[in-house]
Structure 1
Amino acid sequence: MNTTAAAAVTASPHAHDRSGVDRIMLNVCLALVPVTGFGIYLFGLPALLMWMLCIVSALASEALCLWLLQHPMSRLLDGSAVLTGWLLAITLPPWSPWWVAVGGSAFAIIIGKQIYGGIGQNLFNPALLARIALLISFPVPLTTWAIPYLNPDLGQSIQILLGNMPTLIPTPDALTGATWLGDSKAAMKAGGDMTEYLSSHFNVMDAMIGERLGSMGETSALLALLGGAWLLKQRIISWHIPVSLLGTLAVLALVTSTSEPERYAPVGFHLLSGGVLIGAFFFATDYVTSPTTKLGQVIFGMGCGLLIFTIRTWGGFPEAVAFGILFMNSLTPLIDRVTKPRVYGRNRQGDVIKHVPAQRRVN
């Protein structure tokens, strides 16, 4: 009797915790819900429409690439395109016009992801790459901010999405107000005193709660921390990159502000302003574009913190999170190569070390 049964042979690992791509993407999206929801609450229907348009455009761009490459459309279900569009949306001014949302999402998917070979192959974070491309291409809408609680109705919101903002706002200042980072940099260039500026403009409680100008990801520091804590609890990310990034930024801010408080911003201002917290937990920790080793992740985070502080303090842009993370993305292969632990019998590049037997001593 033939007792041989057909067996399905699959690749290892054969026992796992079901932490697939779709589960990871779902957890990251869940972590983004509080800060995104609060941003929509602050900036109203235009922010909601822009967020939805970014996600739909990212999905459409992904579907187009899959169709052109003759890949299965089931890959749309892994959630990566949704997350890319979502992340881009929270970095943009909440009243961005439609061409910014559509063009940015298409750039993120096609140029930032698919041109490298798809998910898991890209060198740079797609959403941040698109954010910088948009800033260079459309500097005016990318630096135009709406104050919270203007609450336009649906008709006005559609007009805002179409780019007709100036006719719908009460005063020009309601549309073009600067963020804390931009305002403080302008004040310092004009010969102002940082201590005086902070005493009249910056409030820690406002920064924690988030009722201020900025993108949806730059509003509430407390909700960004809550989302980061969720990712840590679910073990989607580890502490190495966020802690090293925030720690480096804090140390540099402490040293400079202690020595010259009238010129340099203190620790709290750097950590609670702009997109530092959302960048540390959601962008810098991207699996594909950050190092795989723990030591490499610490080096990566420290490099991000150093670059963010340097560009913010002496560079031409008030916000530097995207620039810092993207620059360190380019160094990730080198960091991995240098910090990768050696395997016995192989060098750091993984090549087998040829063994040369020692010659016996002839007496």
Structure 2
Amino acid sequence: MDPERSTALIGWAAERFRDSRFVLYEQSFPSDPFGRVMMSHFASLNSPLLSLTLYPHIEDQECRFLHKGWQTCRVLNMNQFCLSCVALSETLRIHNLEPFDEFEELHLKCSHYFILVASQGFLAERPCLCPIPEKCAELEMCPTPVPRGSLEAIPSPVPVRGLRRFGHRSCRISPHLVVTTGGFGEKDGRHQRLMDLHVMSRGQHNWDNEQTMEGWDGRLLHSLTPLSEGRGVLVLGGRFSPSHPASGALMLKHMSGSCSVEVTQMNLQPDIQRWRHTATEVHLSDQPYVFVFGGRSVSTLALQDTMFLCLHKMSWEQVQVIGCTPSARHSHSSCSWKGGAVISGGLLPSGLPSGSIDLLVPCGSHFSWRQLETSPSLTPR
């Protein structure tokens, strides 16, 4: 239906039905890369999305209904709807129907679909699309994003083709070499798990040289931890599918005088059997450790435990940590800071993004958790 006729239908319904609600489920944001593919897909089915050009954003749709006579109108994109209006028990039931781990793709898709409820008459006085009570406390922890300044991204003067992937990990393996491992991307015309290592080297002025090499086992959503004193880069965890975690650890080492990377299998017991976690080098009493936090596993949607790998012995050890442990989460970020670590963001078991920042601080013979308050609050991510 063309936009003129569909808008007329909206106005006719407002005039014809005194006490009523109009529920609409449609698409939005047609101009970004996902939106362009979405528009092309529906056009190929001979079902073009005719209204999106005039009403590309959910705010446009809200104004459309109010302008045509509806008293109230509430709109949520499907991420907002699922996070605020669906009970946690139902969310977990859906996640357990079959192995699922494609959160990025799901969130991208849901950000391009919305549900709209326009009301009038006595129904306009009754709330709709309201957060359920069990979600209210968590939603209060997710403040509305505040626009801030941003860093300018400077495009590479030379196209980098080997990094068209997601679910991968990258880090510096030497001062002039960045290694990227795993992920999901395109190879030989097919989308698949990538079985190569991508190495980018810095020339005199730019990161202008790239090459790929075999030797990767295909895991993705693992962790890469550059180790001090030239020990190499430690690979922990990851998965091949949501029901098949990667086993064993790997060590990556730069072959001196070349752009080659050597991959060595390591036997660390117990195996951590997780992905979407973080692994960060920390120090306690001059002892270096790799600190592993969070992630998810086949049986647990979000983990909260901590693990410490002693780098001198290359074995897991019990290390005392006091204070309130951050909430269970996965897909968060972590970095080393003053001998400890900074943990931020991630997805909670409910699916809500976290806006917290937690510090793991070395205190003599133990570590301590401290929460960092910022003003304004960190945008949940």
Instruction: Give the structure-1-normalised TM-score.
Output: 0.23
Higher relative CO (CA 8 A, sep ≥ 6), structure 1 or 2?
1
- Look at both structures and tell me which one has the larger radius of gyration over its CA atoms: 2
Q: Between Structure 1 and Structure 2, which shows a larger proportion of strand residues? A: 2
Q: Between Structure 1 and Structure 2, which shows a larger proportion of helix residues? A: 1
Instruction: Give the structure-2-normalised TM-score.
Output: 0.22
